[in-house]
Amino acid sequence: MDPILWEWLSAGVRWLHVVTAIAWIGSSFYFIALDLSLQKAPDLPPGAHGEEWQVHGGGFYHIRKYLVAPAAMPEHLTWFKWESYSTWLSGAALLAVTYWAGAELFLIDPAKVELSKWAAILISAASLTVGWLVYDRLCKSGLSARPTLLMLILFAVLLTMGWAYDQVFTGRATMLHLGAFTATIMTANVFLIIMPNQRIVVADLKAGRAPDPKYGKIAKLRSTHNNYLTLPVVFLMLSNHYPLVFATRWNWVIAGLVFLMGVTIRHFFNTKHARKGWPWWTWGVTAALFAACVWLSAAGTQGAPEDETAALPAQAQRFADAAGFDEVAGIVMGRCSMCHAAEPGWDGIGTAPKGLHLETPDEIARAAHEIFVQAGLTDAMPPANVSFIEPAERQAIRDWYRAGAGARLAAN
Ligand code: HEC
Q: Is 340 in the pocket of ligand 1 (CB under 6 A)?
A: yes
> Could you identify the atom of ligand 1 that is nearest to the CA of residue 371?
35
Pick from 336, 357, 372 the residue to mutate for probing ligand 1's pocket: most ligand atoms within 8 Å of its CB: 336
The CA-based dihedral angle spanning residues 248, 251, 253, 255, taken in that order and rounded to the nearest 10 degrees: 150
pLDDT of residue 412: 60
Q: What is the pTM of this model?
A: 0.83
Dihedral sign (CA 175, 176, 180, 181): negative
What residue owns the CA closest to ligand 1's atom 9?
353
pLDDT of residue 313: 82
Whether the CB-CB separation of 400 and 323 falls below 8 Å is answered with: yes
Q: Is 338 in the pocket of ligand 1 (CB under 6 A)?
A: yes
Q: Is 355 in the pocket of ligand 1 (CB under 6 A)?
A: no
C-alpha–C-alpha distance, residues 270 and 70, integer Å: 26
Q: Could you give the C-alpha distances from 34 to 179, 183, 273, 296, 407, in angstroms and in order?
A: 26, 23, 8, 38, 59
Q: Is 397 in the pocket of ligand 1 (CB under 6 A)?
A: no
pLDDT tens sequence across 4-58: 898 899 999 999 999 999 999 999 999 989 998 999 999 998 889 899 999 999 9
Ramachandran region, residue 389 (left: φ > 0; alpha: ψ -120 to 50; beta: rest): beta
C-alpha–C-alpha distance, residues 159 and 181, integer Å: 12
pLDDT tens sequence across 92-127: 999 999 999 988 888 998 889 989 999 999 999 999
Kindly state the average pLDDT of the residues 310-317. Answer: 83
Whether the CB-CB separation of 117 and 412 falls below 8 Å is answered with: no
Q: Is 262 in the pocket of ligand 1 (CB under 6 A)?
A: no
Q: For residue 353, report the distance from its CA to the centre of ligand 1, in Å.
A: 6
Q: Give yes or no for residue 76 having a pLDDT over 70.
A: yes
Q: For residue 390, report the distance from its CA to the centre of ligand 1, in Å.
A: 16
Length of the chain: 412
pLDDT tens sequence across 177-203: 999 999 999 999 999 999 999 999 899
